[in-house]
Structure 1
Amino acid sequence: MKLSGRVLLAVVAGTSLAFAAYAAPQSNYSIPRAHEEVVLKSGATMIYDQNVAVTLRDGHVVYANVFRPKQAGTYPVIMAQGSYGKDATFQEAYASGWTQLLKANPNICAQSSCRFMRWEHTDPERWVGDGYVVIALDVRGAGYSPGYLDLVSAREARDFYDAIEWAAAQPWSNGKVGLLGISYMAINQWQVAALQSPHLAAIIPWEGASDLYREALFHGGIESNVFLQLWFKSQILPNQNGNAATAYKDPGTGRPPTGAALSDDLLKANRRNLIDSAHAHPLLDGYNQEINADLSRIRTPLLSAGNLSAPSLHGRGNYEGFVQASSTEKWLFLHTGTHDDSFYSDEGIALQHKFFDHYLKGIDNKWEKTARVSLVERDPARATWTTRSEEGWPLARTRYVNYHLDAQNRSLGTEVPKGEASVTFNAGKTAATFDMVFDRTMEFTGPLAAHLWVASSTADADLFVTLQLFDEKGREVTFLGASDTASPLAQGWLRASRRKLDVQRSKPYQPWHTHDEVQKLKPDEFYPVDVEIWPTSIVVHPGYKLTLRIEGADFQRPPSNPDGKSIGRRGSGVFLHDDPADRPNPEFSGVTTIASGGARDSFLVLPTIPRGE
């Protein structure tokens, strides 16, 4: 393929005009293509076509890898559109993740050569032999697809729409398209489903944000900068189209899987950095509204897979997507562990197959009788956890119980303290903690919240709220999750100046903040604030202790290794909030006071599930 030098004008809502240039200095460069017959372990033959051109509505071309049965016929299509390079192998590009995946699923390559495994994409060998076409697409500006890299944008969603319609019209397609993938490949499912593509028949968003502002960019109005920086540097830039310096190699050619080489100046001009966008758009303005999917417009049958052990990215979006989508045929599957473990497990693939067999092939497999919600019952006292069925989310039998803070003795209780008291902490240095010891077995499952009376010595304050659980021997109960190998029970965040609530959408157990204006504090004056704590599920036993921890910086346990750099078991993973541009001193390093009792009753709302019902 020969690319001519040209300049595109990218108009982004809510921003000034930005010019995005791209060109191909290597005028003789051609996109590598492959057409290969692959014999699967099942004995079936798969056709692999690399870099099939997909023309979008504006005439731009992006590239897809297509895997389809050799036998003539028409088949349903499963697609994913991603920014991580469809030709960068899982084993090479994400070696540590591959090691973890093999540990959790040691037989993962028993039914597949694993040759076409890609990060957060499905394995085509597990589908083609069963009569499916699988398509992996490089988004515009990533991998072999040239152009301006505009991540999770409205335009990228429209590109996906066009690709879906392209796939539905191919001679090997039966006209029904399903979407399947993790994280980024789940986020854009919510986005494109809201556009109501005529041939989009079903989606399985597996652990992906459905509200980018609240779940990925700003937690409670606080910029999630560390994750964004690491993600952009380690996962996006290596796969940007034109990055000849990438360490990744196309296994078929041994060359970079990123197309014709571009200069550093053009590479920078050809992308939008989400950190820069976050700095420019700290409120939920028109720009951020545009990238957030309008979930109410989704009518496609969906299976939303969320992680109970992901308090910082891979949970809330799946709950909210399930609740807010207008689809009458929708299911919620709540698991635990890393997102890779469950997605690629035999059980996960069987679940995906049953759903798609029903909606893409029309097989009468009684899928419609599947319980609308299935969740892992996290019981620390059991060696093996079981999955149970429910009929809705939040669970219909939930009793929301207020546990009141008592600053006098640092406790939580069901009675409002008789006397007023307060406790202070220095932001970034100390924390206020409140404990409750259980005298019976209880379960808490669902969304939760903290209603707090807060004063700050400065004009603003960030609140980082963490729920920790300790067993009867004082050992913290932690969870292997998508964000950290020792995730706490639950987490929530709120910038006090973003405390404004949407009264119509807020519930006692789930405050909904508008994030549309900044309301600064008067120093040392108390204000009521409501902190959304992301959903959790746990069974506790007599002698267990629940600790509510409130502080002015990210929850982080001391490092477990000598160099002090490991973040794997620190508690918040890479989802940290320490950008001085977003949290300048001295405004966010003051003294915060939490009041309790009397007219300033602070309390924690816990979703209590009656036992034996």
Structure 2
Amino acid sequence: MRIERDIAVPTRDGTPVVVDVFRPDEDGPVPVIASISPYGKGVHWPERYPQYEHVPHHEHMVWETPDPVWWTDRGYAVLRADTRGTGASPGRLDLYGRQDAEDFHDVIEWAGTQPWSTGKVASSGISWLAMMGWRAAALRPPHLAAVIAWEGSTDFYREAAYQGGLYTHGFIDFWWARQIEPQRTGAEGDDWREVLPAHPLLDDYHRARTTDLENITVPLLSGANWGGVQLHLRGNVEGWRRAASEHKWLVAFTGTHIDPYYEDWALELQERFLDRFLKGEADRMDGVAPVRLAIRHGRETTWRDTTDLPLPGTDWRELYLGAGTLGFDPPAAGTVPYPSTFDTDPVTEPLELTGPVALRLWLTARQDDLDVFARVHHLDADGVPIPAVGPQGQDVPMAMGWLRASHRATDPERSEPYRPWHPHDRAVPLVAGEPTLLEVEIWPTSITLAPGERLRLEFAVSDSELGTMAHDHPDLRRPAEGAVVHVGGEHASHLLVPVIG
């Protein structure tokens, strides 16, 4: 493997972005797999985090990037770039802004015009690297031939900064201190820990970081993790659904945030995809279904190939909230306190719920605003929750949703019955004592209940126990103490669930 380090790539405004390039030993042009991040292109993986089970253990491995040894052995070059204002790249930090996206566009174009390149470039990587792949693809660089977006969110406000209008304080503080600050080259540019709390609505700051998914036309492989219930899952599904690409695939899996990308099944799929669109091997994706889902049976999974998500033939059914109950039959009218839990009866035959979930919650409050935390759990036959595998292997709920009540307005043109769309561009106070409908988006899930098992819906007043996944900024919390949930009658709160027959 040939390695060239610290190459200064010119960008449109003259500021260089610095890259490392790994190429096969053999002569001749090869296709290129590119990525850009603020994490340090030369920071060896163990210097940042412990190496996961499936991550190769060699000196060239860098956090969330393609393995250059594996890919150069298969006839690809691998390029890693430092984001402007981090690592070896000078300039002002503009994370996820227009300049950031244009820099990656320019790096892709440089890679596509080098003598060692065939002119075919793909973006690939996990998390931030995938997010930047979406961003660059929407700008349509001519030499970008494909995108592998593996656990990469697409909607900065709704998925990364303010989920349901709730500031992602735990994640932003942890991530910035651990990932960004050590790599910054200077003080120029925004510190999100200071800036984001000042932008609670979806304003121009967030719009500048919004990806035009409908402008993406290159072949796409979107990798979604059912356990990515806080940051990336929604974006991979929405990105796949909304991209205008003629050729696009979605795979939803389980496991940690890192391991699946490096597992044998995933590497085989990535190689087939890139061979098809970067090497022109026309039959390499033959037999790969447009959608492949790991259907969860507790922590066990079975693969299912299909054509769409939501799944064709989904039976959308209402599970009505009662006095601690959750059932397909509406209960008598009444109220229950917030927070509460609601359980189904034990099922008598297998019940699969795969797809997005929506909560229609009628609530009366004493205050003018509050935060809703909704969690969906799979209970075993003894009533013990069966957790999903979270990003670091920790236990997480099977699904989650959030909504700040003052952000309850929806856009009817963009909403679906199973996925309300909140503009988040204004705050409308609650009227104390007045029943109010809150439509809460719960991110997609896959849950299969075995006979004797149950489904639980839980409402919480905070999520501080989730640590880096918490929405607990001391100045931005709106606890829901004293609120009541309406059940039955004309204010029949319910979950809309995707029942698969």
Q: TM-score range by the shorter chain?
A: over 0.9
Counterpart residue number, 2:446: 537
Counterpart residue number, 1:364: 282
- For residue 119 of structure 1, report the CA deviation from its aligned partner: 0.3
Counterpart residue number, 2:313: 397
> What amino acid sits opposite 2:421 in the alignment?
W
Counterpart residue number, 1:413: 327
> What amino acid sits opposite 1:424 in the alignment?
P
- Taking the aligned partners of 1:93 and 1:494, their CA distance within structure 2 comes to 34
1:129-163 residue CA offsets vs partner (Å, 9 max, x unmatched):
21111000001011111111121111100000011
Partner SS state of residue 86, structure 2: coil
Task: Spell out the pairing of 1:43-122 with structure 2 (5 A cutoff).
Answer: 46-95=1-50, 98=51, 101-102=52-53, 105=54, 109=56, 114-122=58-66
Counterpart residue number, 2:197: 279
Q: Does 1:181 align with 2:125?
A: yes
Percent of residue pairs bearing the same amino acid type: 40
Counterpart residue number, 1:168: 112
Counterpart residue number, 1:507: 416
1:504-555 residue CA offsets vs partner (Å, 9 max, x unmatched):
1111111111101100011121101100000000111111121111122127
Partner SS state of residue 354, structure 1: helix
> What amino acid sits opposite 1:435 in the alignment?
D
- Taking the aligned partners of 2:422 and 2:225, their CA distance within structure 1 comes to 23
Counterpart residue number, 1:304: 222
Gaps of 5+ in 1: 1-45, 242-266, 426-430, 557-571
- For residue 589 of structure 1, report the CA deviation from its aligned partner: 5.4
Partner SS state of residue 343, structure 2: strand
> What amino acid sits opposite 1:273 in the alignment?
D
Contact 1:51 1:63 in 2 (8 A): yes
- Taking the aligned partners of 1:146 and 1:481, their CA distance within structure 2 comes to 35
> What amino acid sits opposite 1:401 in the alignment?
R
Contact 1:165 1:197 in 2 (8 A): yes
Gaps of 5+ in 2: none
Paired residue for 1:196, among 112, 137, 140?
A: 140
Q: Does 1:327 align with 2:245?
A: yes
- For residue 322 of structure 1, report the CA deviation from its aligned partner: 0.4
Partner SS state of residue 356, structure 2: strand
Runs of 4+ in 1 over 2 A off after TM superposition: 587-590
> What amino acid sits opposite 1:284 in the alignment?
L
Counterpart residue number, 2:303: 387
Give TM-score, length-normalised by structure 1: 0.80
1:332-354 residue CA offsets vs partner (Å, 9 max, x unmatched):
01110112111111221111111
Cα RMSD (Å): 1.4
Counterpart residue number, 1:10: none
Counterpart residue number, 2:394: 485
Paired residue for 2:91, among 135, 142, 147?
A: 147
Contact 2:321 2:494 in 1 (8 A): yes
Which has the greater radius of gyration?
1
Counterpart residue number, 2:343: 435
- For residue 231 of structure 1, report the CA deviation from its aligned partner: 0.3
Contact 1:310 1:487 in 2 (8 A): no
Partner SS state of residue 64, structure 1: strand
Partner SS state of residue 119, structure 1: coil
- For residue 64 of structure 1, report the CA deviation from its aligned partner: 0.3
Q: Does 1:239 align with 2:239?
A: no
- Taking the aligned partners of 2:160 and 2:405, their CA distance within structure 1 comes to 19
- Taking the aligned partners of 1:302 and 1:86, their CA distance within structure 2 comes to 24
> What amino acid sits opposite 2:158 in the alignment?
R
- Taking the aligned partners of 1:530 and 1:550, their CA distance within structure 2 comes to 14
Contact 1:401 1:606 in 2 (8 A): yes
- Taking the aligned partners of 1:365 and 1:124, their CA distance within structure 2 comes to 25
Contact 1:484 1:573 in 2 (8 A): no
Counterpart residue number, 2:80: 136
1:155-176 residue CA offsets vs partner (Å, 9 max, x unmatched):
1000000111011110101111
- Taking the aligned partners of 1:145 and 1:555, their CA distance within structure 2 comes to 36
Paired residue for 2:475, among 564, 581, 600?
A: 581
- For residue 484 of structure 1, report the CA deviation from its aligned partner: 5.4
Give TM-score, length-normalised by structure 2: 0.97
